[in-house]
Amino acid sequence: MDEGRAGHLPEPREIFLKHPWNFLALGAGSGLVAVAPGTFGSLAAVPLALLLPPDVIGQVLLILLTFFAGVRFCNHCTEALGVHDHGAIVWDEWVGFFIAMLAVPRSLSTVVLAFALFRFFDIVKPWPIGIIDNKVRGGFGIMIDDVIAGIMACTMLHAALNLGLLSWV
Protein backbone atom coordinates (compact mmCIF):
# COMPACT_ATOMS: atom_id res chain seq x y z
CA MET A 1 0.00 0.00 0.00
CA ASP A 2 0.99 3.61 -0.44
CA GLU A 3 2.85 5.25 2.41
CA GLY A 4 1.03 8.53 1.78
CA ARG A 5 -2.40 9.71 2.88
CA ALA A 6 -4.64 7.30 4.79
CA GLY A 7 -7.11 5.64 2.44
CA HIS A 8 -5.25 6.87 -0.65
CA LEU A 9 -4.57 4.26 -3.27
CA PRO A 10 -1.69 5.25 -5.52
CA GLU A 11 -2.26 5.77 -9.20
CA PRO A 12 -0.05 3.78 -11.61
CA ARG A 13 1.87 6.94 -12.55
CA GLU A 14 2.78 7.44 -8.87
CA ILE A 15 4.41 4.02 -8.58
CA PHE A 16 5.75 3.72 -12.15
CA LEU A 17 9.39 4.51 -11.37
CA LYS A 18 9.40 3.64 -7.66
CA HIS A 19 10.57 0.10 -8.35
CA PRO A 20 11.90 -1.57 -11.52
CA TRP A 21 9.27 -4.30 -11.19
CA ASN A 22 6.49 -1.69 -11.34
CA PHE A 23 8.13 -0.21 -14.45
CA LEU A 24 8.08 -3.66 -16.08
CA ALA A 25 4.58 -4.64 -14.87
CA LEU A 26 3.25 -1.41 -16.40
CA GLY A 27 4.82 -2.36 -19.73
CA ALA A 28 7.58 0.27 -19.56
CA GLY A 29 4.78 2.86 -19.52
CA SER A 30 2.66 1.39 -22.31
CA GLY A 31 -0.08 0.54 -19.80
CA LEU A 32 -0.36 4.13 -18.60
CA VAL A 33 -2.51 5.35 -21.50
CA ALA A 34 -5.98 6.43 -20.41
CA VAL A 35 -7.95 4.43 -23.00
CA ALA A 36 -7.48 0.73 -23.84
CA PRO A 37 -4.24 0.15 -21.88
CA GLY A 38 -4.34 -3.59 -22.67
CA THR A 39 -4.42 -2.89 -26.39
CA PHE A 40 -1.59 -0.35 -26.15
CA GLY A 41 0.36 -2.77 -23.95
CA SER A 42 -0.12 -5.46 -26.59
CA LEU A 43 1.01 -3.04 -29.31
CA ALA A 44 4.17 -2.35 -27.34
CA ALA A 45 4.81 -6.11 -27.28
CA VAL A 46 4.78 -6.40 -31.10
CA PRO A 47 8.36 -5.23 -31.76
CA LEU A 48 9.56 -7.27 -28.78
CA ALA A 49 7.85 -10.40 -30.11
CA LEU A 50 9.63 -9.88 -33.42
CA LEU A 51 12.90 -10.04 -31.49
CA LEU A 52 12.12 -13.46 -30.02
CA PRO A 53 14.71 -16.10 -30.89
CA PRO A 54 14.09 -17.78 -34.26
CA ASP A 55 14.11 -21.30 -32.78
CA VAL A 56 11.06 -22.65 -30.94
CA ILE A 57 13.05 -23.88 -27.94
CA GLY A 58 14.52 -20.40 -27.47
CA GLN A 59 11.05 -18.88 -27.79
CA VAL A 60 9.59 -21.27 -25.20
CA LEU A 61 12.44 -20.61 -22.77
CA LEU A 62 12.05 -16.85 -23.12
CA ILE A 63 8.27 -17.12 -22.69
CA LEU A 64 8.72 -19.22 -19.53
CA LEU A 65 11.22 -16.72 -18.17
CA THR A 66 8.96 -13.75 -18.88
CA PHE A 67 5.94 -15.60 -17.44
CA PHE A 68 7.58 -16.46 -14.11
CA ALA A 69 9.18 -13.02 -13.86
CA GLY A 70 5.77 -11.51 -14.69
CA VAL A 71 4.12 -13.34 -11.80
CA ARG A 72 6.56 -11.55 -9.49
CA PHE A 73 6.36 -8.16 -11.26
CA CYS A 74 2.56 -8.15 -11.42
CA ASN A 75 2.16 -9.32 -7.83
CA HIS A 76 4.51 -6.58 -6.62
CA CYS A 77 2.73 -3.91 -8.67
CA THR A 78 -0.70 -5.10 -7.50
CA GLU A 79 0.44 -4.74 -3.90
CA ALA A 80 1.87 -1.29 -4.61
CA LEU A 81 -1.39 -0.18 -6.24
CA GLY A 82 -3.67 -1.91 -3.75
CA VAL A 83 -5.87 -3.11 -6.64
CA HIS A 84 -5.94 -6.59 -8.17
CA ASP A 85 -5.17 -6.60 -11.90
CA HIS A 86 -5.26 -2.85 -12.47
CA GLY A 87 -5.76 -2.08 -16.17
CA ALA A 88 -2.35 -0.40 -16.35
CA ILE A 89 -0.59 -3.70 -15.59
CA VAL A 90 0.19 -4.99 -19.07
CA TRP A 91 3.21 -7.30 -18.68
CA ASP A 92 0.66 -10.12 -18.98
CA GLU A 93 -0.35 -8.80 -22.41
CA TRP A 94 3.29 -8.86 -23.46
CA VAL A 95 3.69 -12.50 -22.48
CA GLY A 96 0.31 -13.43 -23.97
CA PHE A 97 1.27 -11.89 -27.29
CA PHE A 98 4.67 -13.64 -27.22
CA ILE A 99 2.71 -16.90 -26.86
CA ALA A 100 0.36 -15.94 -29.70
CA MET A 101 3.46 -15.58 -31.93
CA LEU A 102 5.06 -18.87 -30.83
CA ALA A 103 6.50 -20.71 -33.85
CA VAL A 104 4.57 -18.46 -36.21
CA PRO A 105 6.27 -17.33 -39.42
CA ARG A 106 7.01 -13.61 -39.18
CA SER A 107 5.15 -11.45 -41.64
CA LEU A 108 2.94 -8.40 -41.43
CA SER A 109 -0.16 -10.56 -41.93
CA THR A 110 0.68 -13.09 -39.21
CA VAL A 111 1.57 -10.35 -36.73
CA VAL A 112 -1.69 -8.50 -37.42
CA LEU A 113 -3.73 -11.70 -37.21
CA ALA A 114 -1.96 -12.84 -34.02
CA PHE A 115 -2.58 -9.42 -32.50
CA ALA A 116 -6.28 -9.44 -33.46
CA LEU A 117 -6.82 -13.00 -32.21
CA PHE A 118 -4.99 -12.37 -28.96
CA ARG A 119 -6.91 -9.15 -28.27
CA PHE A 120 -10.19 -10.93 -29.11
CA PHE A 121 -9.57 -13.75 -26.63
CA ASP A 122 -8.21 -11.37 -23.99
CA ILE A 123 -11.19 -9.00 -24.23
CA VAL A 124 -14.05 -11.48 -24.77
CA LYS A 125 -12.62 -13.99 -22.27
CA PRO A 126 -14.38 -17.15 -23.50
CA TRP A 127 -14.34 -20.27 -21.33
CA PRO A 128 -12.10 -20.96 -19.45
CA ILE A 129 -10.43 -17.53 -19.55
CA GLY A 130 -13.31 -15.66 -17.89
CA ILE A 131 -13.63 -18.15 -15.04
CA ILE A 132 -9.91 -18.12 -14.37
CA ASP A 133 -9.80 -14.31 -14.59
CA ASN A 134 -12.52 -14.07 -11.91
CA LYS A 135 -11.24 -16.77 -9.57
CA VAL A 136 -7.42 -16.74 -9.60
CA ARG A 137 -5.77 -13.86 -7.77
CA GLY A 138 -2.29 -12.40 -7.36
CA GLY A 139 0.44 -12.21 -9.94
CA PHE A 140 -0.31 -15.72 -11.18
CA GLY A 141 -3.97 -14.81 -11.68
CA ILE A 142 -3.01 -11.69 -13.63
CA MET A 143 -0.72 -13.70 -15.89
CA ILE A 144 -2.60 -16.95 -16.47
CA ASP A 145 -5.68 -15.63 -18.28
CA ASP A 146 -3.45 -13.89 -20.84
CA VAL A 147 -1.36 -17.04 -21.20
CA ILE A 148 -4.51 -18.97 -22.10
CA ALA A 149 -5.65 -16.19 -24.48
CA GLY A 150 -2.21 -16.39 -26.12
CA ILE A 151 -2.45 -20.18 -26.42
CA MET A 152 -5.92 -19.90 -28.00
CA ALA A 153 -4.71 -17.23 -30.45
CA CYS A 154 -1.61 -19.26 -31.33
CA THR A 155 -3.68 -22.42 -31.82
CA MET A 156 -6.14 -20.62 -34.12
CA LEU A 157 -3.32 -19.02 -36.10
CA HIS A 158 -1.48 -22.33 -36.57
CA ALA A 159 -4.74 -24.05 -37.56
CA ALA A 160 -5.42 -21.37 -40.19
CA LEU A 161 -1.86 -21.66 -41.50
CA ASN A 162 -1.96 -25.49 -41.60
CA LEU A 163 -5.36 -25.57 -43.31
CA GLY A 164 -4.06 -23.25 -46.01
CA LEU A 165 -6.52 -20.51 -45.05
CA LEU A 166 -3.65 -18.05 -45.02
CA SER A 167 -1.91 -19.14 -48.21
CA TRP A 168 -1.38 -15.46 -48.99
CA VAL A 169 0.89 -15.13 -45.93
Of 45 and 85, more confident: 45
Which pTM value belongs to this model? 0.91
CB neighbours of 148 closer than 8 A, spacing ≥ 6?
Answer: 121, 128, 129, 132
- Expressed as residue numbers, the domain containing 17 is 13-24+35-162
Number of independent structural domains in the chain:
1
- Whether residue 8 lies inside any domain: the answer is no
Handedness of CA 169, 48, 28, 157 (dihedral sign): positive
- Whether residue 17 lies inside any domain: the answer is yes
Digit-coded pLDDT (tens) for 78-106: 999 888 889 999 999 999 999 999 999 99
Q: Which of 19, 35, 25, 39 is nearest to 89 (CA)?
A: 25
